[in-house]
Chains A and B, each alone.
Chain A
């Protein structure tokens, strides 16, 4: 068994020179098969084999560095339409990548056609602490019955929170629906943990939208118009179309 593998970054239909280093500082090469080009690196299996990866993926520093390198390569290649593949996709050798391009060539071409002339934008909506209706002011209650007043206060607070949650969910649905009408395709990702994103607020929406290049400004204006009332809507991008090109393994 060989001690190196082939790390796959992205698939495209034409190749552009990629001058940035790949993951673990490896040089990036291209493999051509029919109408498709694959961007790859030769990586040591001591680091990228199945067993070492299980440990490495728990190491946030390693993961961040690898993700940055992966992203750098994809961004370079994305001067033409590309289909990025999932982070740390490692094949046994170049032949396996050739075989993948042969077997799933049609699917890659369809995906590339779908993203041509379009870019991915990320939209995140956050609810500040005060997004919901202000808690109903509680009347003093019966001073002779502190336990009853306590439970009434708790009831109001639980109801207020439930109502705020429902309002926020409805709001997120509305934002997503509005953006989806302008976009060619859209996807909702799982909301990020507040501790990872560094924002204290509750993330209502973590959406990705594939937008025609000519409608970028229209999209940005729409995003701007959907915020307010305690909901903060933020636009990021444009990105390589990560959310719309992932082929399921198989």
Chain B
């Protein structure tokens, strides 16, 4: 049966595979970054971080965000590209 393959299937040719792989890695990094960021905000609210710790964490997360933006630009990816669709569970990252 000659059905056309759906558009969302990953094609295993060398050009797209590299981009798809980069996309997957950046997605996971961004997920972890957002989780850590939320955890920091939570602990900041609970008051169990010192001012120094908050400052250091904040700077680190800010730099990571900048680095993510740079990497995305270099590979021509948008924030939506890093958001995996998990079907009934919604998307991996919150949508803006």
Interface residues of A (CB under 8 A from B): 52, 55-56, 58-62, 145-151, 154-155, 158, 161, 190, 193, 202
Taking a contact as CB atoms under 8 Å apart, the answer to whether B4 and A147 are in contact is: no
CB-defined contacts of B44 to chain A, threshold 8 Å: 151, 155
Taking a contact as CB atoms under 8 Å apart, the answer to whether A150 and B1 are in contact is: no
Taking a contact as CB atoms under 8 Å apart, the answer to whether B54 and A151 are in contact is: yes
Taking a contact as CB atoms under 8 Å apart, the answer to whether B6 and A59 are in contact is: yes
In the complex, which of the residues B1, B57, B88, B95 contacts A151, with contact meaning CB atoms closer than 8 Å?
B57
Shortest Cβ distance from residue B4 to the other chain A in the assembled complex, whole angstroms: 7
Looking at chain A's contact residues, the main secondary structure is helix
Interface centre among A56, A58, A149, A150 (most CB of B within 10 A): A150
Q: Given known contacts A56-B3, A202-B95, is B41 in contact with A148 (CB within 8 Å)? A: no
Chain B 21-52 near chain A by CB (<8 Å), digits 1 or 0 = 00000000000000001101100110000010
In the bound complex, CA of A62 to CA of B6 (Å):
11
Apart from A149-B58, A155-B45, list 7 A-B contacts with CB within 8 A.
Answer: A55-B1, A56-B3, A147-B62, A148-B51, A154-B41, A154-B61, A193-B85
Taking a contact as CB atoms under 8 Å apart, the answer to whether A58 and B58 are in contact is: no
Taking a contact as CB atoms under 8 Å apart, the answer to whether B3 and A147 are in contact is: no
In the bound complex, CA of A68 to CA of B47 (Å):
59
CB-defined contacts of B6 to chain A, threshold 8 Å: 58-60
Taking a contact as CB atoms under 8 Å apart, the answer to whether A148 and B45 are in contact is: no
Taking a contact as CB atoms under 8 Å apart, the answer to whether A148 and B1 are in contact is: no
| B94 close to chain A: CB less than 8 A | yes
**Sample (9) of A-B pairs whose CB atoms are under 8 Å apart:** A55-B3, A56-B3, A59-B3, A145-B55, A147-B59, A149-B58, A150-B58, A151-B54, A154-B37
In the complex, which of the residues A145, A147, A151, A193 contacts B41, with contact meaning CB atoms closer than 8 Å?
A151
| B56 close to chain A: CB less than 8 A | yes
In the complex, which of the residues B37, B58, B88, B95 contacts A146, with contact meaning CB atoms closer than 8 Å?
B58
CB-defined contacts of B61 to chain A, threshold 8 Å: 147, 150-151, 154
CB-defined contacts of B16 to chain A, threshold 8 Å: none
CB-defined contacts of A150 to chain B, threshold 8 Å: 58-59, 61-62
CB-defined contacts of A202 to chain B, threshold 8 Å: 95
Taking a contact as CB atoms under 8 Å apart, the answer to whether A147 and B56 are in contact is: yes
CB-defined contacts of A145 to chain B, threshold 8 Å: 51, 55, 58
Taking a contact as CB atoms under 8 Å apart, the answer to whether A62 and B3 are in contact is: yes
Taking a contact as CB atoms under 8 Å apart, the answer to whether B1 and A52 are in contact is: yes
In the bound complex, CA of A37 to CA of B54 (Å):
72
CB-defined contacts of A161 to chain B, threshold 8 Å: 94
In the complex, which of the residues B4, B38, B57, B62 contacts A158, with contact meaning CB atoms closer than 8 Å?
B38
Shortest Cβ distance from residue B2 to the other chain A in the assembled complex, whole angstroms: 10
CB-defined contacts of B40 to chain A, threshold 8 Å: 151
CB-defined contacts of B55 to chain A, threshold 8 Å: 145, 147-148
